[in-house]
Amino acid sequence: MKITRVRAILTAPEGIALVVVKVETDQDGLYGLGCATFTQRPTLVARAVDEYLDPLLQGRDPANIEDMWHLMMVNSYWRNGPVLNNAVSGVDMALWDIKGKVANMPVYDLLGGKCREAAMVYRHADGRDPQEVLDNVQKYQSEGYLAVRCQMGGYGGRVQDIRPGAALPSKGAPQATHRGRGMDRLDSAFPGTYYNPDVYARSIPPLFDHIRSNVGDGLFLLHDIHERLAPIDAIRMAKALEPYRLFFLEDAFAPDQIEWFRRLRDQCATPIAMGELHNNPLEWRPLIAEQLIDYIRAHLSQLGGLTPARKLAALCEAYGVRTAWHGPGDVSPIGHAANLHLDLACHNFGIQEVINFSEPLYEVFPGTPELRGGYVWANDKPGFGVDLDEAAAAKYPIELKVIEWTQGRWPDGTIWTP
């Protein structure tokens, strides 16, 4: 069996650019699909697939996944960047999909079989104030979900997008409304998404006090700092949240601030999750080996696919760290299926982030996993069990535009991590 073509397919059924890789073979009707979604730079990933990986892999045996993963990673000499890693991921997942189809087995069976029937998920509840967040949390609870991530005003308490020429309060005018909403800022020439880290940090413990006092202890609660705070303020928040028994606190620090995880662990018992921005093993290895985190939150395509992710899961198991793979809207249903197959096969599974799979997603991606009763369920089809309707995908072209939410700024205009 030989690879005859490797190509990228771009589609946006929910308005979010998704990148899918299709690996075709010389066996009639046999192909594999993988997720290569780097939604902020989708066309760069597609060009890496079409212009570099396709000619590199044509004529090779798709059964040799391990060899080809290493080949793709080192062939460009420089490595461990998001564009290349995502391109490699698309091929890697597609090769696992092919292997499952050839074996007539779901990928989770190739990985050793199920440890559980389905994967517990958490949903995302936001709101303008504590009561609105609570209302959304209770809505998920009434639908049978067991865990909810609670935010207020977006990541960092963001409340206002500022562009050049946007009107500001006149000088000398009362500022209370802006100060109360965390938007007391300078007349800045820097466009971006402004938020006030101090207001955000002080607002979250009262939010969880309000939610926990209303929902009781029967619901798992989570929160994502999203790296929006100075490290010492993130530690202070983590300590303040201890009484509310979070399932985990996510992304307290940036990947290049590993030393702060040691300080956090020394001072606080709130469970910590980290990893969605990780590209390089050196970013996660110390966190796991020193048991500085409780959940690995890696984005599978950012790692380079299923091959490195299953090794990461095994490393985590040895140190008592559980998995909580990144599962937002900028993961294709094929990527969500890859998350799920690992969830089912890995003993140290913790929880799975997931989105609401809409009708357009099911239209474009037949076989997309299903949400039922607070869990996500896989089908038992060979491979990942998810297909791609290319005609339907073409109905939802991607739209390239400047990414605004990653232009996060503090009130004085300082750019900060998104």
The range of the structural domain enclosing residue 333 comes to: 119-382
Residues 302 and 256 in one domain: yes
Runs of H (alpha helix) within 216-294: 231-240, 258-267, 281-289
At residue 22, the 3 state secondary structure works out as strand
10-residue mean pLDDT profile of the chain (418 residues): values are 98 98 98 98 98 98 98 96 97 98 98 98 96 98 97 81 43 34 63 92 97 97 97 98 98 95 97 96 96 98 98 98 97 98 98 97 98 96 98 97 91 90
Specify whether 254 is located in the same domain as 188. yes
CA dihedral 358, 300, 307, 108 (to 10 degrees): -40
Pairing status of strand 248-250 against strand 272-274: parallel
64 and 141 share one domain: no
The answer to whether position 299 is within a domain reads: yes
347 and 230, same structural domain?
yes
- Domain contains 418: no
Residue 413 falls within a domain, yes or no? no
Judge whether 373 and 144 are in contact, CB under 8 Å. yes
Whether 31 is catalytic is no
75, 106, 137 — which closes off a domain? 106
Q: CA nearest 221: which of 240, 202, 207?
A: 207
* pLDDT at residue 180, as a whole number: 35
Q: Helices 231-240 & 197-215, crossing angle to 10 degrees?
A: 20
Report if residue 398 sits inside a domain: no
Please give the tally of structural domains in the chain.
2
As given in the structure block, the two tokens for residue 264 are: 């956090």
CATH number for 180: 3.20.20.120
Task: Determine the residue type at 39.
Answer: T
Same domain, 81 and 154: no
If asked whether residues 262 and 367 sit together in one domain, one would say yes
Task: Tally Cβ neighbours within 10 Å of residue 406.
Answer: 12
336: annotated active-site residue: no
In a domain, 175, yes or no: yes
Residue 410 lies in a domain: no
pLDDT value of position 51: 98
Question: What was the pLDDT predicted at 162?
Answer: 44
Residue written as token pair 């966190």: 287
Measured between alpha carbons, how far is 309 from 231 in angstroms, rounded to an integer? 28
The one catalytic residue in 178, 195, 200, 226 is: 226
Q: Which of 77, 106, 135 is the last residue of a domain?
A: 106
My answer on whether 198 and 258 are in the same domain is yes
Answer whether 141's CB lies under 8 Å from 148's CB: yes
Same domain membership, residue 347 and residue 207: yes
Q: Which residue has the tokens 């993963």?
A: 69
Rounded Cα gap, residues 181 and 200, in angstroms: 9
Query: Are both 148 and 295 inside the same structural domain?
Result: yes
CA 312 to CA 307: how far, in whole Å?
A: 9
- Domain annotation covers residue 42: yes
Task: Report the distance separating Cα 100 and Cα 307, nearest Å.
Answer: 14
57 and 138 both lie in a single domain: no
Position 198 scores a pLDDT of 94
- Claim to verify: residue 68 and residue 182 sit in the same structural domain: no
Longest CA–CA span in the chain (Å) reads 74
Are 244 and 100 part of one and the same domain? no
* Residue of 31, 108, 145, 155 marked catalytic: 155
CATH classification at residue 100? 3.30.390.10
Q: Which of 315, 359, 312, 355 is nearest to 335 (CA)?
A: 355
Residue 397 lies in a domain: no
Q: Which residues touch 142 (CB under 8 Å, ≥6 apart)? A: none
* Residue 241, CA distances (Å) to 143, 161, 223, 321, 400 in order: 26, 28, 10, 21, 39
Among the candidates 53, 82, 106, a domain finishes at 106
